[in-house]
Chains A and B, each alone.
Chain A
Amino acid sequence: MHRAPRLNVSGVLINAAALVLVLSYALPYIYLLMTSIKPAADVQQIPPSFFPAVVSFENFREVLRSSTLPRAFVNSLIVAVLTTALSLSVAVPAAYVATQYRRRITTIFLLFALVTRMVPSVALGVPLFQLLKSLGLLDTIPGLVLAHTSAAVPLALLLMSAFFEGVPKELEEAARMDGCTRFQAFRKIILPVMTGGIAVTALFTFITSWNEFLYALLLTSEATKTAPIVIAEYNSVYGLAWGAMTAAAVLYSLPVIIVTLALQKQIVGGLTFGAVKG
């Protein structure tokens, strides 16, 4: 027997509300996207238009032809990938030990990690500048990676600690009974179980480094300038190059969107980890 299709009123309302919410968040980005595909002449027209009259990729061609932006993109990518790798390699084992072998010292350790998040970046910028200068790492990729890692590790540590709280202690113990050393148990059992949490942490770490502006401004000059700095420089003494700037910003946002979509399954899995008992 076929049931006549019925209009699900509450479903429609919830979806409509969700759509409004998404649009209100996405509107600035949609405007950015629309502006980037307007011809250069239309970008600053008065009154401004939301949708382009003619679709043009002129702005994209301009920024990609420029000498600085592609180089800055590569720098940003290298710095973000290295920062993510370094932060995770420090934060994941540290968070595991801090949560699974709870001692007074590990609690203090986690607390201190939080303290570094409480200090404004600008207050750490000057000491970092001095430190990297004395190490000869100013305006180098390793220097910026270290600076970004110092900002990303506390965040990664806190995120991973929250994920590890959900891992039963017996899992490691079972692995040890099954013939693993503590490190093997961590590597062969705990890490694979934690892929969702690690993916979420990796994404947040990557975004932290990819979007980072202040340290990049303070610690780099020409050779290792990252994309946010270059994009900001479109606001020059000759005026604000809106078209180029929006095109660069769109290009700059793509990697984060792609990575988020690619890791979607793990992120949802990671964010709901431990919510339901397996």
Chain B
Amino acid sequence: MAGIELRNINKVYGNSFHALHDLSFDIRDGEFMVFVGPSGCGKSTALRMIAGLESITSGELRIGDSLVNDVDPKDRDIAMVFQSYALYPHKTVRENIAFPLLMAGLPKTEIASRVDEAARILELTTLLDRRPAFLSGGQRQRVAMGRAIVRKPAAFLMDEPLSNLDAKLRVQMRAEIASLQRKLNVTTIYVTHDQVEAMTMGDRVAVMKGGVLQQVDTPQNLYNRPDNVFVAAFIGSPSMNLYEAVLNERTLTLGSSSFEIPDGVFEYRPSLNGASNRQVIVGIRPEHMNDAAIRPSSAEISAPVTLVEALGSESMVHLNIDAPRVDAGDPNAVADIGDEKAAVARFSPKSTVRAGDIARIAVDAEELHFFEPDTRISIW
């Protein structure tokens, strides 16, 4: 086992495309780190560079105490699970799992016992003599995991290993991988574009966009204290609602509505104090907008309801707030909402608002997020 350290890692391809910009952070020994971001953000490139499958243009990569920039993948002591699983189709499950041990030159008895142990952990014992073609998606995924864990490597790298599974199996495997990682306590880097996977599995999550690291933190901190507009919108589903607003003293004007911001916010974000008609980007999480008819609040806004999605335990209420909406730069955020003007609120199922109503919305003003309009960085 070992920690992994990235220092100013850059990747520039032959066509001068700059895929990664000065990536720097540490992954602690035994930690489960998730790289998350939209397509093309460089998360898989970063993983492949750690694996040794992509060269490093500049910067330093250390696994344990050794600089591994120019070390061959086979000599890095890391195992990788691929999105496509990359099982060897001509080998049985047993031979697939045994292959890395065979390459390491372990004695046959040792190989047999370790393969049996991995198969037992992953419940593959009855499938050991089958070829990959005769396995289900979930079973193939398990074999790929088996091939990784059998080596007892310094670190696991996983490149979207669940994206080929159906939704139900994905949830099940998500829990299994997370618990397996805790049990084995091996440093793990997991790449995904799914923020739910990132939030539920990772000890820490590195959010990336356009080859630039946006924030590395625990899932809870990313959610509660996003560093910038992108992270705020990317983490959480449905996404945070982001609007241009004006703060004057303690009064926030959002479109045609105005309300007072409580004192607590100014203690938490002291640089908001003394604002005089200051332009800000305000972020409101869906769960911080409620039906004022059920939970009245001093901070209220009104907006027409365009759609109500009743999910049983809650209702997703789509609203047209009359303030300029802010594009977070996350393609998934717009897809989430469907209508780029709409805000989404998470109402109690007891709410009786319907599409076409003008709803009174109680805003939980203590929980508002504020960002600089120019830099899009959080205002603290």
Which A residues are within 8 Å of any B CB, using their own CB? 168, 170-171, 173-181, 184, 189, 192-193, 195, 278
> What 16 new A-B contacts, CB under 8 Å, besides A170-B82, A181-B74?
A168-B84, A170-B84, A170-B86, A171-B88, A173-B51, A173-B82, A173-B86, A174-B82, A176-B74, A177-B53, A178-B147, A179-B103, A180-B74, A181-B72, A193-B89, A195-B90
- B223 CB → nearest A CB, Å: 33
Roughly how many angstroms separate A170 CA and B80 CA in the complex, as a whole number? 11
In the complex where A168-B84, A170-B82 touch, is A178 in contact with B100 (Cβ < 8 A)? yes
Which B residues are within 8 Å of any A CB, using their own CB? 51-53, 72-74, 78-80, 82-84, 86-90, 99-100, 103-104, 132-133, 147, 151
**In the complex, the 3 A-B pairs of residues with the closest C-beta atoms, listed nearest first:** A179-B103, A174-B86, A170-B86
Q: Chain A: interface secondary structure?
A: helix
B73 and A177 within 8 A (CB) = yes
B86 and A171 within 8 A (CB) = yes
B86 and A278 within 8 A (CB) = no
B150 to chain A: closest residue by CB: A178
Residues of B near A177 (CB, < 8 A) are 51, 53, 73-74, 78-80, 100
A192 to chain B: closest residue by CB: B90
A177 to chain B: closest residue by CB: B80
- A107 CB → nearest B CB, Å: 14
Roughly how many angstroms separate A174 CA and B103 CA in the complex, as a whole number? 12
Roughly how many angstroms separate A139 CA and B87 CA in the complex, as a whole number? 49
A193 and B90 within 8 A (CB) = yes
In the complex where A176-B74, A179-B74, A179-B104 touch, is A193 in contact with B84 (Cβ < 8 A)? no
- A83 CB → nearest B CB, Å: 27
Residues of B near A181 (CB, < 8 A) are 72, 74
- B96 CB → nearest A CB, Å: 9
- Of A168, A179, A192, A193, chain B has the most CB atoms within 10 Å of the CB of A179
- A112 CB → nearest B CB, Å: 22
Residues of B near A175 (CB, < 8 A) are 88, 99
B86 and A168 within 8 A (CB) = yes
- Of A170, A173, A174, A278, chain B has the most CB atoms within 10 Å of the CB of A174
A191 to chain B: closest residue by CB: B90
Roughly how many angstroms separate A186 CA and B31 CA in the complex, as a whole number? 34
- B18 CB → nearest A CB, Å: 20
Roughly how many angstroms separate A180 CA and B100 CA in the complex, as a whole number? 8
Residues of B near A192 (CB, < 8 A) are 90
Residues of B near A179 (CB, < 8 A) are 74, 100, 103-104
Residues of B near A174 (CB, < 8 A) are 80, 82, 86-88, 147
Roughly how many angstroms separate A193 CA and B91 CA in the complex, as a whole number? 9
Roughly how many angstroms separate A184 CA and B100 CA in the complex, as a whole number? 12
A278 and B133 within 8 A (CB) = yes
Roughly how many angstroms separate A176 CA and B79 CA in the complex, as a whole number? 10
Roughly how many angstroms separate A171 CA and B84 CA in the complex, as a whole number? 9
Roughly how many angstroms separate A181 CA and B75 CA in the complex, as a whole number? 10
Roughly how many angstroms separate A178 CA and B52 CA in the complex, as a whole number? 12
B132 to chain A: closest residue by CB: A278
Residues of B near A193 (CB, < 8 A) are 88-90
B103 and A180 within 8 A (CB) = yes
Mind listing 14 A-B residue pairs with CB under 8 Å? A168-B86, A170-B82, A171-B88, A173-B51, A173-B80, A174-B86, A174-B88, A176-B72, A176-B73, A180-B103, A192-B90, A193-B88, A195-B90, A278-B133
Roughly how many angstroms separate A189 CA and B74 CA in the complex, as a whole number? 15
Roughly how many angstroms separate A278 CA and B151 CA in the complex, as a whole number? 26
Roughly how many angstroms separate A174 CA and B148 CA in the complex, as a whole number? 10
Residues of A near B151 (CB, < 8 A) are 178
A103 to chain B: closest residue by CB: B14
Roughly how many angstroms separate A168 CA and B132 CA in the complex, as a whole number? 15
- A41 CB → nearest B CB, Å: 57
Roughly how many angstroms separate A170 CA and B78 CA in the complex, as a whole number? 16
Roughly how many angstroms separate A170 CA and B81 CA in the complex, as a whole number? 10
Roughly how many angstroms separate A177 CA and B87 CA in the complex, as a whole number? 12
Residues of A near B78 (CB, < 8 A) are 177
Residues of A near B100 (CB, < 8 A) are 177-179
Residues of A near B84 (CB, < 8 A) are 168, 170
- B198 CB → nearest A CB, Å: 22
A178 to chain B: closest residue by CB: B100
Roughly how many angstroms separate A24 CA and B104 CA in the complex, as a whole number? 58
Roughly how many angstroms separate A168 CA and B86 CA in the complex, as a whole number? 8
- A101 CB → nearest B CB, Å: 12
B78 to chain A: closest residue by CB: A177
Roughly how many angstroms separate A176 CA and B51 CA in the complex, as a whole number? 10
- A257 CB → nearest B CB, Å: 28
